[in-house]
């Protein structure tokens, strides 16, 4: 059984990680794709759990070697998705969940479109997003302002996604996410459908 890909995008502070954690018991076995980044770890973040933290030079070597499914520069740092663990999870029939930006979604959709389902997660308003970013107190004001500016651009790409989740109440948003995740598992590639037709016809 071939796996499936679920891409999640949305502004920093939209609550993507919280939603995944709340819905984890409803979506079965999955692999959460851990991004590789050149940014410094935040307090409490661990290498190999939250991100793979590498230097700019190491990341650029990976680009040259073709190790990334997608990568982008965000706030002056590289973020990317390593191909090897993704392919291993797909071959085991797992749902692979990505938390990547709008640019990353476009690249993954272009490369693996038949296996991709996508959802854009956002707070109900820009004002609410600002409130959450300041409340979590993990970044200084200049970074928060940059995240808000980026969010204004990201929201313009919302029509590129299969689904939109308005994260106003966590239980409701988590339930909607679980429905989308389970539907993603049912999506079939044209190759799989062709196999089914051949079997069905015999």
Binding-site members for ATP are 10-17
Q: Are 92 and 136 in contact (CB under 8 A)?
A: no
Q: Which two tokens stand for residue 70?
A: 């997608």
DSSP-based three-state secondary structure for 199: helix
Q: Are 36 and 102 in contact (CB under 8 A)?
A: no
141: tokens are 């004001």
* Known binding-site positions: 10-17
Output DSSP code: residue 202: -
Write out the E strands in 27-174.
Answer: 30-32, 36-37, 52-53, 68-74, 77-82, 95-99, 116-122, 163-166
């Amino acid at each position: 059984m071939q796996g499936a890909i679920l891409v999640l995008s949305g502004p920093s502070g939209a609550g993507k990680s919280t939603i995944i954690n709340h819905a984890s018991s409803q979506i079965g076995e999955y692999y959460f794709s851990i991004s590789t980044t050149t940014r410094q770890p935040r307090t409490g973040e661990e290498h190999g759990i939250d991100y793979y933290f590498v230097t700019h030079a190491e990341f650029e070597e990976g680009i040259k070697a073709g190790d990334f499914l997608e990568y982008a520069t965000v706030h002056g740092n590289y973020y990317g998705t390593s191909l090897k663990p993704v392919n291993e999870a797909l071959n085991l029939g797992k749902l692979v969940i990505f938390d990547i930006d709008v640019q990353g979604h476009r690249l993954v959709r272009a490369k693996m479109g038949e296996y991709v389902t996508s959802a854009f997660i956002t707070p109900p308003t820009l004002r609410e997003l600002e409130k959450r970013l300041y409340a979590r107190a993990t970044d200084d004001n200049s970074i928060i302002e940059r995240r808000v500016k980026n969010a204004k651009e990201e929201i313009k790409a919302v029509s590129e996604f299969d689904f939109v989740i308005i994260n106003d109440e966590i239980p409701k948003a988590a339930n909607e996410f679980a429905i989308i995740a389970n539907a993603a598992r049912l999506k079939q590639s044209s190759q799989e459908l062709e196999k089914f037709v051949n079997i069905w016809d015999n």
